[in-house]
Structure 1
Amino acid sequence: MLVLRSLAFNILFYANLTLWLILGVLPALLLPKRAILAVAIGWAHSALWLMRVVAGTRCEITGIENVPQGGLMVGAKHQSFLETFALVTVFRNPVFILKRELTWIPVFGWALTKMRMIPVNRGARARALSDVTRRARIELGQNGRQLLIFPEGTRRAPGAPPDYKFGVAHLYGELGVPCVPVALNTGLYWPRRKFLRRPGTVRIEILPPIEPGLDKATFQRTLQERVETASDRLLAQGRAELAARGMDPLANS
C-alpha cells in the first residue's frame, strides 16, 4: 500500500506541477511579479493538498506568530524538497538563493527570473557571495522581502550531523535584519533521493527570531543550536509516530 500510494502521489504531483507551469506560470509571465508569486502560492497549496489526500501526509506549520514584519532572513533546516514549497505558504514574498543553472530551465527558470530570485555561480565563491549580498540587500531593504536560506547548503538526512556553512553568518552580519530559525522533520516523510512518501504528520516549526547585532560567530552558534535542538525534538516525535505504524525509517540505520 505504501509503495502504491507513493507512486500515485508522485505521478499526480508532477502532473499537477506541469499543469500549473503551463496554465498558470506562462500567462503570468506577461503580468507583474506578484502574479507569479500568487501562482507559486496556489501551486504550493495544491501540492500540500495532494500530499494529504493521496499520500496521507499532513503538513503542520506552527510558530507563524514569530515572523516579524518587514525584511528578514529565514534560516531553515533542509531535509527534503517539501520545505522548499511548504514555506512559500507562510512567507508570501520570498526570495531564494539558488543555483544559476535552475534559471536556464524553460518556463520554470523564466519564472524564477521574473520573481527576482538570486542565482549563484558556485564556481566563483568570493564574487558569488558579494553578488548575493548586494542583491539580497536590495530585495530585503527596498522591497521588504524574506530571504530563505538553507544554512547547510544542501539536503541532509534526518539525524545526520549538522554542517552549517559560513554564508548564512556573513549575510546576517551584512544585512542587519532579524533571522527566523526554522526546524522540521520533513525528511522522515519525504526522504531525499527516494520516491516513498510516508503517511503521518510532517512538522515545521518557526522559532522566535534572532535579532540583528550579534557577531557572526555567536550568531552561527545560536542559529545552529536553536534549529538543531528543535529539529531533534521534532525528529523524535515523528519517529515515535512512524514506529507506532511499524515503519520507523531510522530504526536500523
Structure 2
Amino acid sequence: MTIKTAIQAIRTALFYLVFIGQTAIIAIIIGTIGLVAGRTRLSWHLARYWCASNIAFLRTIAGVGTEVTGVENIPEGGCIIAAKHQSDWDVFAIFPHTGRPAYIVKKELMRIPFFGWAARSLDCIEVDRQRGSEAIPLMMAQAHSAIERGCRIVIFPEGTRKAALAPPDYRQGIVRLYRELNVPVVPVALNSGLFWGRNSPVIWPGKAKARFLPPIQPGLAPDIFLLQLRAAIEESTDELVLEAVEQGLDRPVDPGLAERIQALKDRQTTKY
C-alpha cells in the first residue's frame, strides 16, 4: 500500500465514522417522530440536512466533490426519476432536487428498527423481492398513493449498485411504473462509482457528477420506452465517466476497470 492510498484509507474511515454515526442518530429521531406523528415537516428538514451534510462531509473529509446538472429537465407535478446507481452518493445527490421524493427501497431495509420507521415517514415505497410476482402489485399500490400525495417516484432501475461501466441490467419494475402511473420519466446519469465504488474499501477523491436528462413522455410501447431509457442513461453515463478519465483519476485503476475504460474508448472511436 502506498502512502497516498494509506492516507485516503484513513480519510475514508473518518468519513464512514461520521456518516454512519449521524445516520444512526437521525434515523432514531425521524423514526421516533414517524411512530408518534407520522409524516412531518421536521422529518423532511432533517432528511434534507442529512443529505446536505453528507455531501459536505464527503467533500471535506474524503475529497469527493458534487456536481448536479440538468435539474431544469424535471417537470412540474408527478413524475418518475430513474437513476443509474453506483454508490450511496446517488441518494444524497438526487434527493435535494426532487421536491418530495418517494424512493423505492428493498423490504429488508424497511425492517431495520428506526431506519425503517423513518423511511416510511419519508414516503419510501417498499418492494419485497421474496414475494416474486406479488411484489409488483404491492409496489404499484404504494406508488399510486405517493403520486396522489404529490411525490416524485425515485427508482434505481437496475435494482442495485453497479460498478462503473459494468454491463447494464435494467429490471421490469421501471416498465410497470411507466405503464401504470402514466407520468414522465426523467433519466439520470452519473459517474459516482469511479470515486465511491461498490464494495470498495477506499473512497477516492474527485468530482462525482449526476446529470438529469430530458424526460421521456408517457404513452410509448414498453419495449420502446425501455430502449430509450437505457440509451439515455448509458450514453450520458459513458460521457461522464470518459470526461472524468480524460481529466485524470486520482486513484489506482484495477485491471477490470482499465479494461472497461479501454472498451469504452474503443466504442467511442468506432462511433465517431
The TM-score normalised by the length of structure 2 is 0.86
Report whether the alignment pairs 1:70 with 2:77. yes
Deviation at 1:22, TM superposition (A): 4.0
Q: Secondary structure at the match of 2:258?
A: coil
RMSD: 1.8
Residue number among 135, 154, 159 corresponding to 1:148 in the alignment:
154
1:79 aligns with 2:59: no
Q: Which amino acid aligns with 1:113?
A: R
What does the per-residue CA deviation read over 1:12-64, in whole Å, with 9 as the maximum and x for residues that have no partner?
Answer: 21122233234555346544513322211110100000001111111100011
Q: Name the CA distance, whole Å, in 1 between partners of 2:28 and 2:105.
A: 22
Which of 110, 113, 116 aligns to 1:106? It is: 113
- Secondary structure at the residue paired with 1:106? coil
Match of 1:181 in 2: 187
Deviations 1:61-92 (A, max 9, x none): 00111111111101100111110232111113
Q: 1:247 is matched with which residue?
A: 252
Which stretch has the larger CA shift, 147-156 or 175-184? 147-156
1:86-97 alignment to 2 at 5 Å? 86-97=93-104
Partner residue, 1:166: 172
Give the fraction of aligned pairs with identical amino acids, expressed as a percent: 36
Contact 1:179 1:209 in 2 (8 A): yes
Q: Which residue of 2 aligns with 1:237?
A: 243
Q: Which residue of 2 aligns with 1:126?
A: 133
- 2:49 alignment partner, one of 36, 42, 50: 42
For 1:195 and 1:202, the matched residues in 2 are separated by 17
Q: Determine if contact 2:31/2:117 at 8 Å carries over to the other structure.
A: no
1:51 aligned onto 2:46: no
Distance 2:251 2:118 in 1: 42
Q: Is the 8 A contact 1:169 1:220 kept in 2?
A: yes
Name the amino acid aligned to 1:100: K
Q: Which position in structure 2 is the counterpart of 1:194?
A: 200
In structure 1, runs of 5+ residues without a counterpart are: none
Residues 29 and 36 of structure 1 are in contact (CA less than 8 Å); yes or no, is this contact kept in structure 2?
no
Going from structure 1 to structure 2, the CA distance change for 1:170 and 1:22 (only over 3 Å counts) comes to closer
Identify the range of structure 1 (157-166 vs 25-34) with the bigger mean alpha-carbon deviation: 25-34
* Inter-partner Cα distance in structure 2 for 1:179 and 1:237: 25
Counterpart secondary structure, 1:58 = strand
Task: Pick which of 24-33 and 92-101 moved more.
Answer: 24-33
Instruction: Give the number of aligned pairs.
Output: 251
Shifted more, 119-128 versus 175-184: the winner is: 119-128
1:100–1:28 distance in 2 versus 1, CA, 3 Å: closer
Q: How far apart are the structure 2 equivalents of 1:218 and 1:24? A: 41
Structure 1 residues 18 and 123: CA distance shift in structure 2, 3 A: closer
Further displaced range: 18-27 or 30-39: 18-27
- Distance in 2 (CA, whole Å) between partners of 1:213 and 1:139 is 21
Amino acid at match of 2:17: I
The secondary structure found in structure 1 opposite 2:175 is helix
Alignment CA distance shift 1:127-1:24 (3 Å) = closer
Q: Which stretches in structure 2 are left out of the alignment for 5+ residues?
A: 1-6, 261-272
- Could you tell me which amino acid in structure 2 is paired with residue 191 of structure 1? G
- Match of 2:11, as an amino acid? R
Partner of 2:15: 9
The one-letter code sitting in structure 2 at the alignment partner of 1:217 is D
Please state how far the C-alpha of 1:119 moved relative to its aligned partner. 1.4
More displaced stretch, 78-87 vs 48-57: 78-87
Q: For residues 239 and 175 of structure 1, what CA distance do their matches in structure 2 show?
A: 38
Cα displacement (A) at 1:98: 1.5
